[in-house]
Structure 1
Amino acid sequence: MSSLAKQLTGVVANTRKLLDLCGSLQAENDMLKLEVQSLKVAVDTSIDKNKQLEEKVKALTVARSLDEVEVGEAGINEKILDTKQKINDFVREIDKCIELLK
């Protein structure tokens, strides 16, 4: 009987250890989930910032192309058509974004 009691005590002790380990692993898992979530937010923020910077680059390109307009009539017409094309490209991109939001 003594041997059976010792074995039972060992099983109970091992079960408690496993439960403690399970609890600590669950806490670590919760912490890692929070870290993953915060990293996802950081990545999304970086992607948004990158898109904003790309739009600024496009706008600066358009602005610089307008600054470089030649005095001649042909140069002005060409730059106007180029600018209109770029504006149309922006409008198409905006329309695509609106469709994705729907």
Structure 2
Amino acid sequence: MSNHLEAIHLLEDKIKEILYKYDFLKEENQVLLQNNAKLHILIQEKEEQLKRGQEEYRLLKIAKTIEGSNENTRETKLKINTLVREIDKCITLLNS
């Protein structure tokens, strides 16, 4: 009979240990999920900053070209021609 009681106590101890580990891992998972969400938000913010920086760089490059510098003159002329064509298409669509 004492063997049965010892087995039951051992089983109870193991169940308590497993429940403790389960609770600990559950809390740890919650913390990790929160950190993951914060990191995703941070990544999105950094991607937006990068896009804004790239757009500012592109505009600055165009402004420098229009300003009279010889760098990227061809590129700026092509961009202006592309924009004019797009505007012409829009006007044609509006008139039809």
TM-score between the two structures when normalised by the length of structure 2: 0.74
Q: How many residues align?
A: 81
Return the letter of the residue paired with 1:6.
E
Corresponding position of 2:81 = 85
1:57 and 2:57 equivalent? yes
1:11 and 2:7 equivalent? no
The correspondence of residues 15-26 of structure 1 with structure 2, limited to 5 A, is 15-26=15-26
Compute the displacement of 1:10 (Å): 0.7
Flag structure 2 segments of 5+ consecutive residues without an equivalent: 87-96
Identity %: 15
Runs of 4+ displaced beyond 4 Å = none
TM-score between the two structures when normalised by the length of structure 1: 0.70
Pick 1 or 2: higher relative contact order, CA cutoff 8 A, min separation 6: 1
* SS of residue in 1 equivalent to 2:10: helix
